[in-house]
Amino acid sequence: MEDAFLPARGVLFDNDGVLVDSEASVVASWSRWAVDHDLDPAEVMAAVPGRRAADTVALFVPPAEVAASTEKITRYELESVAGTTAVPGVLELVPQLTGVPWAVVTSGVRELATARLRAAGVPLPEILVTAEDVTAGKPDPEGYASGAHRLGLAPADVLVLEDSASGIAAGQAAGCRVVGVGRDALRTAADVVVRDLTGARWTGAGLLLPAAALLRGVGTAG
């Protein structure tokens, strides 16, 4: 497989699973929350990826309890943020984006997203689109459409980096090309899929992904 080059003028990153590895915190926090509510942790965890916490909570508790229960899971996740690390390649790629329009579009709330980025040592973006900023979470394209607009770019000129099926669908529905990150992205229609961001390089005209990181190249979906 050859290196993959994706032309772009700006980048929109998902946070968890793309910039930061918060899996241990997410599993521990949501499992704790599930036990609190006499739910099966595995069933709850299956609903978490790519969703805003409030949207996940709403699947399992009565409407009147959603606000308080969402506050609880956010507190649990904030309490366990210290173990968050950067996804391989991120700390080398982000500094290359100086002067390049880029932002983070996450299903997480602002306080949690910021805490995880700081814990992982990832530079904070000037633009951060969070759960509080949208009326509909992923797979709705609102977050990524808003991110592109705030960068001052057309969606077609923006590259989205995502790991979840709902996030990849959201990016593509917004009109962006999408790089899938991680093996789960192989089950999606992402334009290209990488193991992580090791060796990823911004060329000035787009993102160059090394063959060694590719799980699926450009034009080989399906």
Provide the number of structural domains found in the chain. Answer: 2
Read off the pLDDT of residues 12-48 as tens digits, 9 standing for 90 and up.
Answer: 999 999 999 998 998 999 999 999 999 999 999 999 8
222 in any annotated domain:
no
Q: Which domain holds residue 114?
A: 4-21+84-216
- Both 203 and 135 in a single domain? yes
Q: Are residues 176 and 206 in the same domain?
A: yes
Q: What is the pLDDT of the chain when averaged over all its residues?
A: 94
Query: Which residues have C-beta within 8 Å of that of residue 144, sequence separation ≥ 6?
Result: 12, 105, 155, 158, 160, 170, 171, 173, 174, 176
Asked if residue 89 and residue 29 are part of one domain, the reply reads: no
What pLDDT is attached to residue 103?
98
The reply to whether 54 falls in a domain is: yes
Is residue 51 scored above 90 in pLDDT? no
Model confidence band, residue 220 (pLDDT cutoffs 50, 70, 90): low
Confidence of residue 221 (pLDDT cuts 50, 70, 90): low
In this model, does residue 49 exceed pLDDT 90? no
Least confident of 9-18, 22-31, 166-175, 212-221: 212-221
Which pTM value belongs to this model? 0.89
The residue from 48, 82, 116 where one domain ends is: 82
Same domain, 89 and 75: no
114 with 17, same domain: the answer is: yes
201 Cα distance to chain centroid: 19
Share of the chain above pLDDT 70, in %: 99
Residue 188's CATH number: 3.40.50.1000
User: What's the whole-number mean pLDDT along residues 101-107?
Assistant: 96
Residue 124 lies in a domain: yes
| pLDDT at position 50 over 80 | no
Residue 107, pLDDT > 90, answer no
Residue 125 has pLDDT above 80, yes or no: yes
pLDDT tens for each residue of 55-96: 999 999 999 999 999 999 999 999 999 989 999 999 999 999
The reply to whether 221 falls in a domain is no
Q: Are both 89 and 149 inside the same structural domain?
A: yes
Final residue of a structural domain among 82, 106, 121 = 82
Mean pLDDT along residues 168-195: 97
- Residue 55: inside a domain, yes or no? yes
Q: Which residues are catalytic?
A: 14, 16
Q: Do 59 and 154 fall within a single domain? A: no
